[in-house]
Amino acid sequence: MDRRSLLRKLVMTPLLSPAALMLAQEGGVRPAHHGENGFINTDPGFAEAGFDEMAPWIAGKLTDVFSKAPKADIPREVNDGSALREQRPYTVTWIGHSTVLVQMEGRTILTDPVWSTKVGPFKWAGSPRVSEPGLAIENLPPVDIVLISHNHYDHLDEASIEELADRNPNAAFFVPLRVRDWFEDKGIRNVEEYDWWEGGSHKGLKIVCTPAQHFSGRWINDRNQSLWCSWVVTGKKRLYFGGDSGYCSHFANIGKRFGPFDLTLIPIGAYEPRKLMSPVHMNPAEAVQTHLDLRGRTMVGIHWGTFVLTDEPMEEPPKKLAEAAEAKGLNKGECTVMKLGETREW
């Protein structure tokens, strides 16, 4: 896109969703998370870390961006995708980070698909990948639905999206508000864009965009100009996919409206240092509480073991998750992690 059309887009694209715009025109109330200069977090307890606190930490992290990935021992299982081609009613496969393949009632759903070896604004500088994807992109079964939680590079990866769209011309991409343009610029038109609590039906499944407490941005000039979210998919069974989020009151609301969930996919990594991360990334203990708030039955911890993003050791999140689940007196299998490439039924 040239500079003029980019500028025009920045100026002309309405911040409000069509539904919210209509509401505004009718004299209705603007949704609380639609701020004057971008989207905002609405939980009363939300307090973002200040620039003065954040800047030194970011400066310290810059060396990671240019370096090779450190070694990390993340358990994995060989998966060539052949078993996934025989659709079974309910399977879940962890590919890495927040990329999960879910088969559900004859449909194949992929969440935040990222296969790149570095995630960041440039191919040569970004958070390095420490573990190979558990399933090669060319070994995926045909994909029907792709869910995108927000536009951060470790969730919205250009190379992966373009390859997926090429291989799956009929796949529908579900995105939060103001992420559609990014797809359209790449010629991808099968995109459904929703605000929180909005959704649509797709081949028998109901898909709803639900809140999260986070932020967005891919460059210095677009902070919070697109929305962040989680997703609920309901058919005969119910699935919750959590994008990045701090722990907050949204989860109890989602649980009330759409729970109980048969399977919850909840982030358990990128939580240290707590002082800076807690508003926007939950820790494993909060992930267990989120699962309980959602009224989940089985939880798989995601968003760990893949990219170097924050200060906790790469292998730590599953240990902390097991401790937190035990402290809550939950059954052993209720809150777990999977091996890369592992498939389970749910």
Residue 154 found at the interface with Zn ion (CB under 5 A): yes
Number of other residues whose CB lies within 10 A of the CB of residue 313: 10
Q: Which is nearer to Zn ion, 244 or 312 (CB)?
A: 244
Helix (H) or strand (E) holding 202: strand 199-202
- SS3 label, residue 262: strand
Contact with Zn ion (CB under 5 A) among 129, 152, 218, 238: 152
Residue 218 found at the interface with Zn ion (CB under 5 A): no
**Binding characters for Zn ion, 62-101, by CB under 5 A (x = yes):** ----------------------------------------
Answer for the pair 304, 281: CB distance below 8 angstroms, yes or no: no
Distance between CA atoms of 302 and 241, rounded to whole angstroms? 10
Instruction: Fill in the DSSP letter of residue 340.
Output: B
- SS3 label, residue 55: helix
Distance between CA atoms of 301 and 303, rounded to whole angstroms? 7
Q: Minimum distance from CB of 152 to Zn ion (Å)?
A: 4
Instruction: Fill in the DSSP letter of residue 183.
Output: H
Q: Minimum distance from CB of 218 to Zn ion (Å)?
A: 11
Residue 129 found at the interface with Zn ion (CB under 5 A): no
DSSP 151-193: -STTT--HHHHHHHHHH-TTPEEEEETT-HHHHHTTT---EEE
Report which of 140, 111, 127 is spatially closest to residue 263, judged by C-alpha positions: 111
Contact stretch for Zn ion (CB under 5 A) within 120-128, 144-152, 191-199, 249-257: 144-152
Contact with Zn ion (CB under 5 A) among 64, 244, 293, 342: 244
Residue 157 found at the interface with Zn ion (CB under 5 A): no
Distance between CA atoms of 248 and 293, rounded to whole angstroms? 10
Contact stretch for Zn ion (CB under 5 A) within 102-110, 161-169, 244-252, 321-329: 244-252
Q: Which is nearer to Zn ion, 46 or 90 (CB)?
A: 46
Q: Which is nearer to Zn ion, 133 or 259 (CB)?
A: 133
Q: Minimum distance from CB of 214 to Zn ion (Å)?
A: 6
Helix (H) or strand (E) holding 241: strand 238-241
Contact stretch for Zn ion (CB under 5 A) within 42-50, 111-119, 237-245, 322-330: 237-245
Size of the site for Zn ion (CB under 5 A): 3
Distance between CA atoms of 22 and 134, rounded to whole angstroms? 44
Q: Minimum distance from CB of 270 to Zn ion (Å)?
A: 6
Residues that bind Zn ion (CB under 5 A): 152, 154, 244
